[in-house]
Structure 1
Amino acid sequence: MSGSGFLSLHGVHKRFPLKDGELHVLEDISLDIRQGEFVSIVGGSGCGKSTLLRLLVGLEEASGGSLRLDGTPIHGTDPARGIVFQDHRLYPWLTVEDNVLLALANSPLDKAERLARVHAHLELVGLRHFAKAWPAQLSGGMSQRVAIARGLVNRPKVLLLDEPFGALDALTRAQLQDELARIWLTEGITTVLVTHDVDEAVLLGDRVVVMEPRPGRIRRIIPVDLPHPRRRDHPRLAELRSDILQDFTRRQAVA
């Protein structure tokens, strides 16, 4: 890889110390992501995909290699990199409005500008009328919409999503996948989604990065050659899903 992408990873390694050695979690990860691209990272448990996202967020430091966003090395957290976790992590003692507003705590905007931006992003996720609601009054899907609004309110260069719909029922998950696709098309923000759901990966991603475990590394990268928005029943998505799933069934057969 040339390391010339908007979001660039080159030769990234991650190891954790153990009492009697080291645990190799990621090995030689190289990936260039274009500005405005939606990339899905898929893999089974233990392949290091969530660790990779933590490196991109800045919650962990790589043991080797380089990570850059728009040419700048990634070290520590930064508002330029928004994150949404599987657990929405809303503060129950704050209203929806205040939970999103919290992400602007260090913003140079004045109070009126901050509120205007919060309301614009609640509108974006379809929750304009729930600004004064408490998290306990929301469904799981609505809570994740708030988390997405909070991840976007700083207008980051990259939105990082770690299994954001994994805890939701199938119907709510499908609805939020459609919402995420709409928001991505509206905002044009570079997006990286980590998921174990192959259907989700091919439905949303411009490319799907397939990872394999022990240590985690990229097995292959598959372009999804379909325009957005996409139909779930498109035959090409079924073909890609079947192709990717064969990677996992072949590995299980060898193991």
Structure 2
Amino acid sequence: MTTVIEQGSGLTLRHVSKRFNDDAAPPVLDRIDLSIASGEFVSIVGASGCGKSTLLRLIAGLDGDHEGEIGFDGERIVTTDLSRGIVFQDHRLFPWLDVEQNVAVALRNAPLSKAEKARAVAEHVALVGLKGYERHYPHQLSGGMAQRVAIARGLVNRPRLLLLDEPFGALDALTRRRLQLELQRIWERERITMVLVTHDVEEAVLLSDRVVVMEARPGRIGDVIEVGLARPRKVGDARLTRLRDEIVGRFFSSGS
């Protein structure tokens, strides 16, 4: 039975710490405390090795070996769940399945009829701008298109929380920019809770309500910055540039 840790909506992390095999080594994550409201978009930035992706895996329920508590919508996270979708840097599409079939994989255990699943797949393929590409296979898609399929697959179960682990990190600059704006559009339409791990501070301030800056060795939250700018936001906005520079300055002054 799932343990209730807190009433209300949103994501809550209380004193979350994580170690790997060597107990004598510094923890990968050290007493992380963070609350994310329902419908909020939060980005997590920090140097390689600060534990960003590890933290995302704990929230997804892919790793339950940690100290502290993680709860979502009042229930303790102990394993993966359809209420939480995840998109990785590597799109992880099945090469023998077409676009439609790759998205439909996420609905395998969903309590929907065949017709309902077909409608959900069609809706989410259209949502990410791939209508007309349903019968294309991964080798027929560009990298950006493949990531769109991965985002559709992450959304098709209508999760209340979408986790994004460097989803645009392997893309060229132009494609990355296009997908950032696409993700902004999807968030504005769907208004589900999103948590994005990224190395790109500019990407974080463009998309997020708040930016969490992590320190490394051990992984801790060094700062949380409110973006506070109305959407839709435009790349090149001087206010975003100033905020990006402020966050980068804090990041380096912390020694991360």
TM-score class normalised by the smaller sequence? over 0.9
Offset from partner CA, 1:84-142 (integer Å, 9 cap, x none): 00000000000100000000000111111101100000000000111111110000000
The CA distance in 2 between the partners of 1:158 and 1:75, in whole Å, is 15
Deviation (angstroms), 1:5: 5.8
**Residue 159 (structure 2) pairs with residue 156 (structure 1):** yes
Q: Which residue of 2 aligns with 1:64?
A: 67
Letter in 1 for 2:103: V
Q: Which residue of 2 aligns with 1:9?
A: 13
Q: CA RMSD in A?
A: 1.5
When the two structures are superposed, what TM-score results if normalisation uses the length of structure 1? 0.95
Q: Which residue of 2 aligns with 1:85?
A: 88
Q: Which runs of 5+ in 1 are unaligned?
A: none
Q: Which runs of 5+ in 2 are unaligned?
A: none
Distance verdict in 2 for CA 1:197–1:91, change over 3 Å: same
The CA distance in 2 between the partners of 1:240 and 1:182, in whole Å, is 21
How many pairs does the alignment contain?
A: 251
Matches within 5 A, 1:201-220: 201-220=204-223
Contact 2:213 2:251 in 1 (8 A): no
The CA distance in 1 between the partners of 2:176 and 2:50, in whole Å, is 23
Contact 1:95 1:132 in 2 (8 A): yes
Q: Which residue of 2 aligns with 1:42?
A: 45
Matches within 5 A, 1:1-255: 6-18=10-22, 21-252=24-255
Offset from partner CA, 1:114-172 (integer Å, 9 cap, x none): 01100000000000111111110000000000000000000001000000000000000
Deviation (angstroms), 1:49: 0.4
The CA distance in 1 between the partners of 2:9 and 2:193, in whole Å, is 11
Contact 2:206 2:233 in 1 (8 A): yes
Letter in 1 for 2:64: E
When the two structures are superposed, what TM-score results if normalisation uses the length of structure 2? 0.95
Letter in 2 for 1:71: G
- List structure 1 runs of 4+ shifted beyond 3 angstroms: 2-5, 20-23
The CA distance in 2 between the partners of 1:245 and 1:46, in whole Å, is 17
Deviation (angstroms), 1:16: 0.9
Which structure shows the higher strand fraction? Answer: 1
